[in-house]
DNA sequence: CTGATTAAGGTGTCTTTGAAATTG
DNA sequence: ACAATTTCTTTGACACCTTAATCA
């Protein structure tokens, strides 16, 4: 029995035929090809002709089934994983946000401020005090003075505070984050509170993050409004991020230890001083030269595993994930300051290098002294609309509002003048971000659209062109309208207004057997494919169903009532959403209609989900009373049944015991 | 050589009113 | 015997996206 099935397996590979009829022919021919042993041949000869068919058919079926179930299991697993990824990302983001929030509190510590002040040379302290309307009435001049003072402060800090290469927060891919921590991992510098910070301040030594924290604290100590800016490095939720990490990942599966080392190379490579980092045997050492590698060496080396994706970036190219924004009162602007690299007011330098896998700019949050925060990602991400927002959950343009709701927890409940100014800056940035320069940049762009990228159920209306891209018209995303067929509008309780023409015609879709047949009939008659009209929301109105007259509920062709949304309940009617009410209503001779609240799918059939009934208002009480009574009755019945059962069991037990006793007494 | 195109394969969305067997 | 209820199983077509290879 084993032989035919194994042969069948092989022949299936040879000629992926799955039809039982073909097997009769395929099986012998594949024997010849395989050149099997005589034993198997004799077996085949011994077996009567029909036997292979009898065996193969069920196996073929079960195999196909197995394939299907496997595919389904894969899909389910993928879905589950996707959920895990997304939730992990969200949770991680919130954790990092709170971590930053707490650190932002720490750096308000008055003792820390005093300590830092005591370490700061007087001339630098004084340079801030000198900026005042009294001494310098011209705001432009004051702004310049302020910037110069911040520059001096940053330079002084940069020269004196020693930054060690590890210990700061880095971005990890999902798989990396799942992995157990390794001994040689980049361990984060532990900070337990303002006291830990103070120790670092005294020692003039700490991680990048510590440097930024202390610098922000110092600014606040000096009376300069300063924000702690944090670029949250949460695990990416998208699978593609993992894949593009390529060889690192695939190697890790076989050799987790090597992975740890490989990662160490990545992290160490950030600080080019750490040129003595470890290397795995397989990975080619990335040149530690100062020149940055833009392209990959994929062309020269075909083998996947041999292509390392480590890029050595100079210290100057490694952007921090924490920095400071100081507020220039004179020109009402926030100036970014990177104390680690001595960079003042050069926001473009804070966006990480695209090759820097340890720093992904997705959320940049600025915490102010009062603990409130604002999302300032737009200021730093060059292509904020084009690229950055796309890597937030909800994906693409369909934002699910999650991030907004998270930020609302830390947003100041009232607005300041400077908030308005900042928002204006954001709007200006959005407009001047400019059109993307590539086709891919236009795809899912929040501001611009090309006609080729709109969906089947979308239309550009009005067609107001705002530019051209390689001969194609560019439109504003706000002019894209989502459309639905009249049936689909009905599913959300809306009806197409009379006299409105569809904005677009698309091929009608048929998924159920019933509907497909109907469409085919129509096609055979007219000789052309049936089309379906799509309408915009503005072309529709709220559907008002016919009211209840004399207690009679309006019904559809199936004898039910459509109640996809509450607004579809007719005037004078009530929805009683309890199971079993239909039976009671019928017994009471009340006119009713079962409420269809949705659909469920089974075997290509849409099946309505019935949720209770709709009856006239005047019958509600009667029906409900009867319903609760029936529920009560059912409970009572159940209780009686239970008691009876209990009594029965007790009786049985006692009888048993009595018999046992008698037996013991007698013998 | 970058970025567009394309092909292939995977993923996501939309679809939208049974039949058979068993029980009371 | 008949009606009511439970169980059965979990689609399929196609748009759209991603990825890798190829092309300009």
Query: Among A18-22, A74-78, A307-311, which range has the highest average pLDDT?
Result: A74-78
A603 Cβ within 7 A of any nucleic strand C atom? yes
> Quick one: A523 and A598 in the same domain?
no
Nucleotide nearest to A395 (CA to C1'): C17
Strand C nucleotides where any atom sits below 7 Å of a protein CB: 4-5, 8-20
Does residue A440 lie within any of the structural domains? no
A517 Cβ within 7 A of any nucleic strand B atom? no
pLDDT of the residue at A84: 79
> Quick one: A526 and A617 in the same domain?
no
> Quick one: A209 and A346 in the same domain?
yes
Does residue A275 lie within any of the structural domains? yes
> Quick one: A503 and A374 in the same domain?
no
CA of A611, C1' of B21: distance in angstroms: 24
Average pLDDT over residues A147-166: 93
A75 Cβ within 7 A of any nucleic strand C atom? no
CA of A600, C1' of C5: distance in angstroms: 18
A580 Cβ within 7 A of any nucleic strand C atom? yes
CA of A392, C1' of C10: distance in angstroms: 32
Nucleotide nearest to A299 (CA to C1'): B1
- Hits for CB < 7 Å against strand C across A residues 93-152: none
Mean pLDDT across chain A:
76
CA of A625, C1' of B23: distance in angstroms: 27
Among protein residues, the one whose C-alpha sits closest to the C1' atom of C11 is A604
What would the two tokens of residue A275 be?
Answer: 């040129």
A641 Cβ within 7 A of any nucleic strand C atom? no
Nucleotide nearest to A72 (CA to C1'): C10
> Quick one: A571 and A489 in the same domain?
no
Nucleotide nearest to A608 (CA to C1'): B17
A192 Cβ within 7 A of any nucleic strand C atom? no
Spatial CA neighbour of A485 closest among A506, A454, A464, A516: A506
If pLDDT is split at 50, 70 and 90, which confidence band does A666 have?
very high
If pLDDT is split at 50, 70 and 90, which confidence band does A164 have?
confident
Instruction: Give percent above pLDDT 90 in chain A.
Output: 35
> Quick one: A388 and A459 in the same domain?
no
Task: Spell out a b/e string for A607-637, using b for 16 or more CB atoms within 10 Å of the CB, else e.
Answer: eeeebbbbbbeebeeebbebbeebeeeeeee
CA of A399, C1' of C23: distance in angstroms: 36
A631: domain CATH number is 3.30.70.2460
- Stronger pLDDT, A24 or A499, i.e. the higher one: A499
Residue A356 CB partners (closer than 8 Å, separation 6+)? A270, A311, A313, A317, A318, A319
In the predicted structure, residue A445 carries a pLDDT above the cut 90: no
Its domain, for residue A643, covers 559-667
CA of A482, C1' of C12: distance in angstroms: 25
A59/A68 Cα distance (integer angstroms)? 14
CA A173 to chain centroid: 14
> Quick one: A469 and A356 in the same domain?
no
pLDDT of the residue at A471: 86
Does residue A501 lie within any of the structural domains? yes
pLDDT of the residue at A4: 39
Instruction: Give percent above pLDDT 70 in chain A.
Output: 73
In the predicted structure, residue A451 carries a pLDDT above the cut 70: yes
Does residue A99 lie within any of the structural domains? no
> Quick one: A603 and A498 in the same domain?
no
Residue A13 CB partners (closer than 8 Å, separation 6+)? none
Does residue A346 lie within any of the structural domains? yes
> Quick one: A410 and A525 in the same domain?
no
CA of A210, C1' of C24: distance in angstroms: 50
Nucleotide nearest to A238 (CA to C1'): C18
> Quick one: A366 and A275 in the same domain?
yes
A304 Cβ within 7 A of any nucleic strand C atom? no
Average pLDDT over residues A560-575: 91
> Quick one: A471 and A396 in the same domain?
no
A271/A313 Cα distance (integer angstroms)? 8
Nucleotide nearest to A582 (CA to C1'): C4
A426: domain CATH number is 3.90.260.10
User: Minimum mean pLDDT among A81-85, A327-331, A529-533, A650-654: which range?
Assistant: A81-85
A509 Cβ within 7 A of any nucleic strand B atom? yes
CA of A318, C1' of C24: distance in angstroms: 35
Domain boundary among A431, A462, A486: A431
CB–CB of A173/A241 below 8 Å? yes
CB–CB of A619/A579 below 8 Å? no
Domain boundary among A512, A543, A574: A543
User: Minimum mean pLDDT among A294-298, A515-519, A541-545, A575-579: which range?
Assistant: A294-298
Does residue A437 lie within any of the structural domains? no
Residue A478 CB partners (closer than 8 Å, separation 6+)? none
A11/A9 Cα distance (integer angstroms)? 5
Strand partners, A336: A325
pLDDT digits (tens, 9 = 90+) for A280-317: 333 333 333 333 333 333 333 333 333 333 445 566 66
> Quick one: A201 and A237 in the same domain?
yes
Does residue A394 lie within any of the structural domains? yes
- Helix, strand, coil proportions of chain A in percent (round to 5)? 50, 15, 35
A272/A540 Cα distance (integer angstroms)? 63
Query: What DSSP line would sit under A469-511, residue for residue?
Result: ETTEEEEEGGGEEEEEEHHHHHHTTEEEPTTPPPSEEEEPP--
What would the two tokens of residue A420 be?
Answer: 């308005």
pLDDT of the residue at A556: 87
A74 Cβ within 7 A of any nucleic strand B atom? yes
Domain boundary among A515, A543, A571: A543
Does residue A97 lie within any of the structural domains? no
pLDDT of the residue at A313: 58
Strand partners, A573: A616
Strand B nucleotides where any atom sits below 7 Å of a protein CB: 1-5, 11-12, 14-18
pLDDT digits (tens, 9 = 90+) for A369-426: 999 999 998 899 877 766 777 777 765 555 567 888 899 999 999 999 999 999 998 8
At residue A552, what are phi and psi to the nearest 5 degrees?
Answer: -95, 125
Q: How far is CA A373 from CA A243, A408, A621, in A?
A: 33, 9, 53
Residue A5 CB partners (closer than 8 Å, separation 6+)? A55, A56, A59
User: Minimum mean pLDDT among A3-17, A141-155, A437-451, A576-590: which range?
Assistant: A3-17
A239 Cβ within 7 A of any nucleic strand C atom? yes
- Hits for CB < 7 Å against strand B across A residues 274-313: 294-295, 299
Nucleotide nearest to A304 (CA to C1'): C20
Please state at what angle helix A2-14 crosses helix A20-34, rounded to 10 degrees. 90
Total domains, chain A: 4
């Amino acid at each position: 029995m084993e032989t035919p099935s194994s042969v069948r397996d092989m022949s299936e590979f040879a000629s992926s035929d799955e039809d039982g009829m073909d097997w009769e022919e395929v099986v012998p021919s594949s024997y010849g090809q395989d050149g099997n042993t005589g034993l198997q041949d004799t077996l085949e000869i011994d077996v009567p002709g029909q036997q292979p068919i009898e065996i193969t058919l069920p196996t073929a079926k079960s195999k196909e089934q197995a394939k299907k179930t496997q595919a389904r299991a894969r899909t389910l697993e993928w879905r589950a994983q996707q959920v895990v990824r997304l939730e992990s990302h969200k949770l991680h983001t919130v954790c990092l946000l709170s971590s930053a929030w707490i650190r932002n509190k720490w750096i308000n510590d008055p003792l820390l401020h005093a300590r830092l002040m005591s370490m700061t040379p007087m001339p630098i302290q004084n340079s801030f005090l000198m900026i005042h309307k009294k001494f310098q009435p011209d705001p432009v001049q004051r702004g310049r003075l302020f910037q110069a003072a911040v520059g001096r402060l940053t330079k002084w800090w940069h020269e004196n505070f020693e930054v060690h290469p590890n210990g700061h927060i880095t971005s990890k891919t999902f798989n990396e984050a799942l992995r157990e921590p390794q001994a040689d991992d980049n361990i984060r510098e532990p900070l337990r509170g303002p006291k830990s910070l103070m120790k670092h301040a005294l020692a003039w030594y700490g991680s990048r993050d510590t440097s930024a924290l202390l610098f922000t604290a110092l600014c606040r100590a000096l009376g300069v409004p300063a924000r702690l800016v944090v670029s949250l490095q949460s695990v990416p939720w998208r699978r593609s991020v993992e894949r593009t990490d390529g060889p690192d990942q695939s190697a890790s599966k076989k050799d987790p230890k090597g992975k740890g080392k490989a990662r160490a190379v990545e992290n160490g490579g950030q600080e080019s001083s750490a040129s003595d980092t470890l290397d795995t045997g397989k990975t080619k050492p990335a040149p530690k030269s100062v020149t940055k590698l833009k392209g990959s060496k994929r062309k020269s080396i075909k083998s996947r595993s041999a292509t390392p994706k480590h890029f050595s970036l100079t210290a100057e190219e490694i952007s921090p994930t924490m920095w400071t924004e100081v507020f220039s009162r004179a020109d009402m602007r926030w100036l970014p300051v990177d104390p680690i690299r001595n960079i003042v007011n050069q926001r473009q330098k804070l966006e990480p290098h695209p090759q820097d896998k340890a720093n992904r700019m997705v959320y940049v949050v600025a915490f102010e002294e009062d603990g409130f925060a604002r999302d300032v990602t737009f200021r730093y991400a060059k292509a904020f609309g084009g690229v950055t927002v796309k890597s937030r959950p909800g994906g693409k343009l369909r934002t699910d509002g999650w991030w907004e709701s998270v930020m609302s927890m830390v947003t100041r409940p009232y607005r300041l003048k400077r908030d308005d100014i900042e928002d204006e800056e954001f709007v200006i940035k959005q407009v001047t971000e400019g059109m993307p320069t590539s086709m891919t940049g236009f795809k899912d762009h929040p501001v611009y659209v090309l006609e080729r990228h709109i969906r089947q159920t979308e239309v550009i209306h009005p067609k107001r062109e705002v530019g051209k891209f390689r001969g194609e018209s560019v439109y504003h995303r706000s002019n894209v309208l989502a459309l639905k067929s009249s049936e689909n509008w009905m599913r959300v309780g809306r009806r197409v207004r009379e006299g409105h023409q569809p904005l677009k015609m698309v091929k009608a879709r048929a998924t159920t057997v019933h509907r497909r047949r109907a469409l085919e009939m129509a096609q055979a008659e007219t000789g052309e494919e049936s089309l379906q009209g799509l309408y915009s929301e503005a072309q529709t109105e709220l559907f008002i169903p016919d009211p209840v007259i004399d207690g009679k509920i309006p019904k559809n062709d199936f004898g039910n009532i459509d109640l996809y949304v509450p607004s579809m309940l007719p005037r004078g009617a009530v929805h009683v959403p309890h199971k079993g009410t239909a039976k009671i209503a019928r017994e009471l001779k009340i006119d009713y209609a079962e409420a269809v609240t949705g659909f469920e799918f089974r075997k290509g059939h849409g099946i309505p989900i019935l949720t209770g009934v709709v009856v006239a208002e005047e019958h509600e009480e009667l029906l409900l009373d009867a319903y609760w009574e029936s529920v009560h009755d059912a409970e009572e019945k159940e209780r009686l049944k239970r008691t009876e059962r209990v009594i029965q069991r007790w009786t049985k037990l006692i009888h048993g015991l009595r018999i046992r006793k008698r037996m013991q007494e007698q013998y």
